[in-house]
Amino acid sequence: MSAEIARRLERIGQEERTRVRTPRMRAVLALGPVTALAGVAWAVAQPWRLTLLHPYGQGFWWLLAEPPLYVVGVGLAFWRLVARELVEDMAKAKR
Give the binding site for another protein (CB under 8 A): 24, 27-28, 31-32, 35, 48, 61, 64-65, 67, 70-71, 74-75, 78, 82-83, 85-86, 89-90, 92-93
CB 35 within 8 A of CB 77: no
Q: Which is nearer to another protein, 2 or 84 (CB)?
A: 84
Least Å distance, CB 17 to another protein, is 16
- Rounded to a whole number of angstroms, the CA Rg of the chain reads 21
Provide DSSP, 51-71: GGGS-TT--HHHHH--HHHHH
- Specify the DSSP class assigned to residue 47: G
Least Å distance, CB 89 to another protein, is 5
